[in-house]
Amino acid sequence: MTMRVSVLRGQNFLRHSAIAERIVQVANPISSHICVDIGAGTGIITRACLAANYQVMVIEIDDRLFARLQKKFSDNPRVKLFHESLTTVSLPQQPFSITSNPPFNQSTEIFRRWVLNKYFQSAAIVTQHQFARKMAGDFGATKISTALSPFRKITVSEVLPKSIFHPRPNVPVSMTHVECIENPIIPWSERKKYWLLVNYLFECGPTTVRKILTLLNISNIPKHIGEYRLRDLHPQQVVDLYRIVDTPAAWKRIRSFDRQLPENRRLRFGVD
């Protein structure tokens, strides 16, 4: 059967069942966890999840693809089908692992909304290789990599051959492995406060750490990072900054700053 290609959604359909099985193996969900196949496409990863005896949440917004997924899986009690966007569908209210080859233009939203969700456990996600390295912090600190780093370990599991996709992607592609950090250096209960600081730091613009924190009347800035720009910070150094922003006045200013931002630039990590 010829598969219609959606260029606008950046879809590159996986053709090899062995790679789909490998995705499930790398995610390595606990048997009681739900597998989430975001942008399920032809259902090749869903089939691999079912073969490994997992329950599967299947998400596909494309009308034709969803109709085909319904024909394949609607009678299977271990599959729940959602004809919705990954940005609007309700997230599972129980532990889940992501096993997915989503459209590349949805990768950031998956990490922002799904990987930072409280029920997230693990993931093996097909992404652009450069994106995977960006999430891992290989190109310097970014807002989302800094938000992730205390709570999630991100590694490039393996680079995938372009020949296993249709159409062949124009960029290098990787399988990105994400794990929860068991004992994060910032308690999970403080995550929203930490993310609020991260958003503040990066929305203040490309200046030095010292200039940003001076706006908060913070004076005890470590000398070894005061003149750094944000992108040059190591994740542990951002945690150190979080520890020294400890006055009610500073946090009041940060929250006020966030409220004044346009909606698309406000705190948007780990919703739901």
Q: Is the pTM of this model over 0.75?
A: yes
For residues 100 and 98, give the distance between their C-alpha atoms in angstroms, rounded to a whole number.
Answer: 6
**Which tens digit of pLDDT belongs to each residue from 126-154?**
999 999 999 988 888 889 999 999 999 99
pLDDT of residue 10: 64
Q: Region 29-54: what's the mean pLDDT?
A: 97
pLDDT at position 223 over 50: yes
- Residue at 149: amino acid letter: S
Closest CA relative to residue 31, chosen from 96, 118, 77, 116: 96
**Alpha-carbon 231 to chain mean position:** 19
pLDDT of residue 224: 78
Structure tokens at 64: 């034709």
* Fold assignment, 13-180: Rossmann fold (3.40.50)
pLDDT at position 112 over 60: yes
Tell me the pLDDT band of 187, cut-offs 50, 70 and 90: very high
Structure tokens at 210: 């010292």
**Which tens digit of pLDDT belongs to each residue from 226-238?**
888 888 988 888 9
pLDDT of residue 7: 43
pLDDT at position 6 over 80: no
End-to-end, the C-alpha distance of the chain in Å comes to 38
Q: Region 47-65: what's the mean pLDDT?
A: 98
| Structure-model confidence comparison of residues 205 and 38, the more confident one | 38
pLDDT at position 175 over 70: yes
| Structure-model confidence comparison of residues 52 and 215, the more confident one | 52
Tell me the pLDDT band of 1, cut-offs 50, 70 and 90: very low
- Alpha helices in the chain, H assignment, sequence order: 17-27, 44-51, 63-73, 107-109, 129-135, 143-148, 191-203, 209-214, 223-226, 235-244, 248-260
pLDDT at position 97 over 90: yes
pLDDT at position 263 over 90: no
| Structure-model confidence comparison of residues 185 and 267, the more confident one | 185
Tell me the pLDDT band of 219, cut-offs 50, 70 and 90: confident
Q: What average pLDDT does the chain have?
A: 92
pLDDT of residue 261: 93
Q: What is the percent of the chain where pLDDT is above 90?
A: 74
- Residue at 253: amino acid letter: R
Q: Region 195-205: what's the mean pLDDT?
A: 92
Q: Region 157-176: what's the mean pLDDT?
A: 95
